[in-house]
């Protein structure tokens, strides 16, 4: 059985590469690598060549997400599994693989139409220490937990759940959130490793493919420093500091230069085998800046 092991990389389409360069480095602390191509920047969070590519093609949305499988056998088995399930995909050419700095990749789309890639063999630059874009107390928490998690647009939550189950993720509804209009939001969270969720959906209609990317610091002081910087720069905060009931991470959500959210976090617990659901968060996460798709009573 071939399963994805982690969310390994993201491509983001952006309109303001200069603003993104400053935000990624000075606010988040990521290492910005410019290889002189002109149309893109790479963001490092660890020893990988990159974890995020910023493509200056203007749509200010998710361009693609990359799910890792262990190696060539799993890569071949995944192709068989997708074919048997009738899910169309293409095998990336050598040029496409080297553009992503991987040994092999598949390109497909999830049921929400989000460009999805399955890859093995990332380029890891062990000779090049991670150099944060601003001073950091610790590191980004990546490794076997991958880059973090994304909340995606899915019009058909059941179809999305079946697709990500096929890839090897598990999960279900983790909240029943009563809404002011009488409906109950039932967001769906899925994991494939110790990270409590790597992908989630079911928060209702969304303008963009992605609502937020969550990433995690190893040190609480880095989250606090990021929060001070965000407040100092008067960046919109959509959800104030608080602790989620499911991953129990201390997080806040602020706008990025593309007008969607980055969720800065620390201290998440690991995924558990047993499903649970919650009716609210532990504390905090008050709504502040409206219009980012997070105007929900967490």
Q: Does 100 bind ligand MBD (CB under 6 A)?
A: no
Distance CA 201, CA 181 (A): 20
Q: Does 151 bind ligand MBD (CB under 6 A)?
A: yes
The contact mask relative to ligand MBD for 234-273 (x = CB under 6 A, - = no) is ----------x-xx---------------x----------
CB of 216 or CB of 263, closer to Fe ion: 263
Work out how close the CB of 249 gets to ligand MBD at its nearest, in angstroms, rounded to a whole number.
Answer: 7
The option from ligand MBD, Fe ion, none interacting with 210 (CB < 5 to 8 A, set by class) reads none
Work out how close the CB of 102 gets to Fe ion at its nearest, in angstroms, rounded to a whole number.
Answer: 26
Work out how close the CB of 253 gets to Fe ion at its nearest, in angstroms, rounded to a whole number.
Answer: 8
CA dihedral 34, 128, 212, 174 (to 10 degrees): 160
Least Cα distance to 226 among 115, 137, 148 occurs for: 137
Listed ranges 21-29, 108-116, 137-145, 257-265: which one lies at the site for Fe ion (CB under 5 A): 257-265
Q: Does 4 bind ligand MBD (CB under 6 A)?
A: no
CB of 110 or CB of 263, closer to ligand MBD: 263
Q: Does 214 bind ligand MBD (CB under 6 A)?
A: yes
Work out how close the CB of 7 gets to ligand MBD at its nearest, in angstroms, rounded to a whole number.
Answer: 13
3-class secondary structure, 71: coil
Distance CA 277, CA 134 (A): 38
> What are the φ/ψ torsions at residue 267 (nearest 5 degrees)?
80, 25
**Contact yes or no for 13/150 (Cβ under 8 A):** no
Least Cα distance to 124 among 44, 53, 64 occurs for: 44
Pairing state of beta strands 188-191 and 170-173? antiparallel
# chain residues binding ligand MBD, by CB under 6 A: 7
Near Fe ion by CB under 5 A: residue from 65, 214, 261, 294: 214
Q: H-type helices in the chain, by residue range?
A: 17-22, 72-84, 94-100, 157-167, 220-232
What is the three-state SS of 133-181?
CCCCCCCECCHHHCCCEEEECCCCHHHHHHHHHHHCCEEEECECEECCC
Near Fe ion by CB under 5 A: residue from 6, 74, 263, 281: 263
CB of 43 or CB of 150, closer to Fe ion: 150
Binding site residues, Fe ion, CB under 5 A: 214, 263
Binding site residues, ligand MBD, CB under 6 A: 151, 187, 214, 244, 246-247, 263
């Amino acid at each position: 059985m071939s399963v994805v092991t982690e969310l390994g990389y993201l491509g983001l389409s952006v309109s303001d590469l200069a603003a993104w360069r400053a935000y990624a480095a000075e606010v988040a602390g990521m290492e910005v690598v410019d290889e002189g191509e002109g149309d893109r920047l790479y963001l490092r969070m660890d020893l990988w060549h990159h974890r995020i590519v910023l493509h200056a093609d203007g749509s200010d949305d998710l361009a693609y997400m990359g799910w890792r499988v262990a190696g060539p056998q799993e890569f071949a088995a995944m192709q068989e599994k997708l074919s048997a399930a009738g899910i169309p995909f293409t095998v990336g050419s050598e040029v496409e693989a080297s553009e992503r700095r991987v040994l092999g990749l598949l390109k497909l789309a999830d049921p929400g139409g989000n460009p999805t890639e399955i890859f093995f063999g990332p380029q890891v630059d062990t000779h090049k220490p991670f150099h944060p874009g601003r001073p950091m107390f610790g590191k980004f928490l990546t490794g076997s937990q991958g880059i973090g998690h994304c909340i995606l647009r899915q019009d058909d939550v059941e179809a999305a759940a079946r697709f990500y189950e096929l890839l090897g993720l598990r999960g279900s509804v983790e909240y029943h959130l009563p809404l002011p209009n009488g409906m109950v939001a039932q967001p769906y969270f899925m994991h494939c490793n110790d990270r409590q969720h790597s992908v989630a959906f079911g928060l209702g209609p969304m303008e963009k493919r992605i609502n937020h990317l969550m990433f995690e610091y190893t040190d609480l002081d880095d989250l606090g420093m990021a929060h001070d910087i965000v407040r100092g720069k008067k960046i919109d905060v959509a959800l104030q500091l608080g602790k989620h009931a499911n991953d129990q991470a201390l997080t806040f959500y602020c706008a990025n230069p593309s007008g969607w959210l980055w969720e800065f976090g620390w201290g998440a617990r690991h995924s558990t085998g047993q499903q649970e659901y919650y009716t609210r968060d532990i504390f905090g996460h008050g709504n502040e800046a409206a219009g980012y798709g997070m105007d929900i009573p967490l």
